[in-house]
Structure 1
Amino acid sequence: MWESETESVRGREYGNGVLSSNKHGVKTDGFELRGQSWYVATDIPSDLLVQVGDVNFHLHKYPMLSRSGKVNRLIYESNNHPDLNKIALEDLPGGPEAFELAAKFCYGIAVDLTAGNISGLRCAAEYLEMTEDLDEGNLIFKTEAFLSYVVLSSWRDSILVLKSCEKLSPWAENLQIVRRCSESIAWKACANPKGIKWAYTGKPSKVSSPKWNDLKDSSPSRSQPVPPDWWFEDVSILRTDHFVRVITAIKVKGMRFELIGASIMHYAAKWLPGLIKDGQGQGNNPNAKMRVARLVDSYLTEVSRDRNLSLTKFQVLAEALPESARTCDDGLYRAIDSYLKAHPTLSEHERKRLCRVMDCQKLSIDACMHAAQNERLPLRIVVQVLFSEQVKISNALANSTLKDPAETQYQPLIPNHKTLLEATPLSFQEGWAAAKKDINTLKFELESVKAKYLELQNDMENLQRQFEKMSKQKQTSAWTSGWKKLSKLTKMTAVENHDIGPQISTAAEQTRKTPRRWRNSIS
């Protein structure tokens, strides 16, 4: 396995990979392993037992409490517990190996940092809360400095640290170790090959499963130029999610798309056995084509849930394989149905266009049963599915009556109806009659449904007409009531005027007659 490029045999100062703590309080010569337990080599008896998984650590309180906030808090919370000197750290990232290094650091024992242990020790330091508030130059600060200044400046160390993060989720993600290593690898992969001066594994001549202890070391030399794909093999040892993170970072940095595609092909060929085989004539292997078809259909099912996936892209992916690659279109039908679920706003024309990539004759019986009841499919596709299923049943019944089974594959797909009935026994004729009876029953039920539909439609039209009449009556009644009120008012004013008129006239006559009488009386 790769060792850190900055590591020496005897160890160095901290800046080059050796950690030590000056304040430890307990003089010790190191740790001793006895069975499944670690003991501190000192004359002072142990007063603290820490359990990490199946391993016990017999330690002392002062060195641990002075540098670990987690241990300090657990000891304080267990004051009322009978086991005052016993704590368990079951979920510590990095396991017993990381805790051993952290405990040695607390005792002031020199700890040799490498690319293989730095990620686990960094996560363990975060878990144990070994911050600067407890001690200056605590483990979090020193491991973070080693990551930033030593690991991220090295090509191989960045890959090894990213590889070691596979068992440290989600701590490595939360501490940004995965992101920083991916960014470092991406920057170096996008560098000019002429300026590469670090060692790399190189691309092997034949793709095989990785062997961590037998990696070929190809150091660039001036006489031999560095190929553009020099980073393929080193990156291919990563887990799939970390490989995707690296490829995404490389794409953001501006790597050529053909190189990105070639690296993905190299990764797939390495981890998918049988995808690429040596020798001639292997490309026509039907089993290999079926595996590729299943893989593509599974991928289509996954991406079909993306609402931003256009119909054209989905159709191009589905038609990328030749027709002979799929012996059964159940996986493709599942992907189409999932796409229709995620895109309910497709028009009828778009749904027909989507379903053209599927061959209804390659669907199984279960898929046909589901498709016949699927309301998302166009009606024409449902009819094709039912027709192809009927053809399969008829063909199977016809072939079952033949004596020579070798001739079954040469029989016509749709046999003549009359010859089929004449050449089949009475049981088949009875079955055909029963099928006809079922068809007639379905037709009768369909007609009854149509009649009920027409009846409901007529009722709805009658209700609409009644509603329109009622609305018109309300309008006319309102107008007539208004006109009646106005007419009553006009009649009342006319009567009053008629009654007041004679009174006014008699009064006028009296006024006219009175002066005469007054004048006569004076005279």
Structure 2
Amino acid sequence: MQEELCDLKVHINGQQIFFLNQRILSMFSGRLRKMIKHDKRRGQIKVLGLKIADFPGGADGFELATRFCYNNGRIQMSPSNVCLLHSSALSLEMTEEVAACNLLSQAETFLDGLFYWTWRDVLNSLKSCEPFLDAADGSGLLQRLISALLGKISANSEVPLMAATTTPFASSSSSSSPDTPGFRLSSSTPAKTPESIKPCFSREWWFDDLTVLHPKIIEKLMTTLGAYGRDNRNLVLTRFLLHYLKTSMQKSGGGEGAGAECRLDYSGLADTAVHGVVLMGRAAFSCRGLFWVLRVVSGLGLSKDCRSKLERLMGSMLDQATLDDLLVSGHDGGVYDVNLVLRLLRVFVSSDEGGVPLQRMKKVGRLVDKYLGEISPDQNLKVSKFLGVAESLPDSARDCFDGVYRALDIYLESHTSLSLEERSRLCRCLNYEKLTLEACKDLAKSPRIPPRSAVQALASQRVKLQDGAEEAAESPVAVVAYHRGVTSPEFTGEKEELRHNLQMMQWRVAELEKVCREMRGQMSRIAKSGKLVISSPSHLNGRGLPRLC
């Protein structure tokens, strides 16, 4: 009796076996009917065995279809299972040609009321399609659900989704509270928070709900709206994609270490988001916002072309960046991504054909000095990378090289195994003439600085002091006042002040010459003893050299 009831064995996707009745299944499934007839022609087999691969929804979908058959063509449908039933019916050919009021026609009838479903019902149906996305897409079911979803978004938003342009406007009142960093506030009303972190839009009400969907569904949604890849010119959709990518990576624990499969799933969406960001540029995004975008998409298989476009935009706005912006985590063994900063600096230096304005260049110079100080202790930072950052800007970008020297000193202290040649190479990034006397004194005393470099630094200070003394002596004010014999109190005071300054500078020159002589003596002793120890001049006894001014 058991053999008569279960005379069909069906193996679904190589995962699960179902024991069924041939007659009941053949009444509703055209595909199974053909397969049973074909196998029966081979001989008398009591229990037929069939194998079905790539069945949509796997064992769950096949089980629902068999329940429909065993229940004499009836089953309770809901938004959460109708997509699975529809795809199973197509796969098993459960059409009207096989049986009246078959599973496929019932599913189609249920889907006719799609536009009357609630927002949550449409989302649940889309979510249920994830195990069989290709089948749902091929049948047009996915497109129908996405159209219904977009219809509800448009019906519940003040500004239609397709009406969004690349120019930022005020957000609709239906949006939730803003918390996405990095967008500019385009309103003329004074902002309470800094422009660099204030969003130009609040999150739309539907942003969070759509983050539960598979990336292929989001790709289909963007394609439906004509905003996928290079066609993305929509500010709202760009903001949504960034929010979606950020949330998805947080849920999966992804980022730089995301797997190859994860990067493949999200790479198209990452490229689409970046195309929108680059198109809108600084009109909608601050420099900090662009660094935030880079952090979101960098671990998602972003194409080289899109990364290059984003970095060009970031580099052109580098003077608006902060130290925190530049401290992007490294992924090649280093603590920070120094290669990124080097690329941004190259873009910045060459961003204006007529040359970068000096004020902007100096601002970046101060930023680079801070960055050098931050990355110097990194044990994996190579000499070439340190020099690349230190020498990335022209000398005009710095009025003083004390910041570079401090970073260099930290680097030498952290990398004790450097050879004399490497330490000498590092010192070449310093402009000794732009060092203060205090920095020069510290450099001369440091055992980590090669002696030749220390002497060069002191010599440059001596020349600078001599030039300053000569310039003061030839001052037009002093000459005119002396020649004309002006006796007014005002000119007399100026003449006395100039004479005093000249005497002070002459004393400083003599003091520095004495230091240089002692340094040469110490270098001679170093050469004889082979020890690199430079003590401070005996007559100073810890007293620093006087400042120039």
TM-score interval (norm. to shorter): 0.3 to 0.5
The structure with the larger Rg is 1
Provide TM-score, normalisation by structure 1. 0.45
Provide TM-score, normalisation by structure 2. 0.44
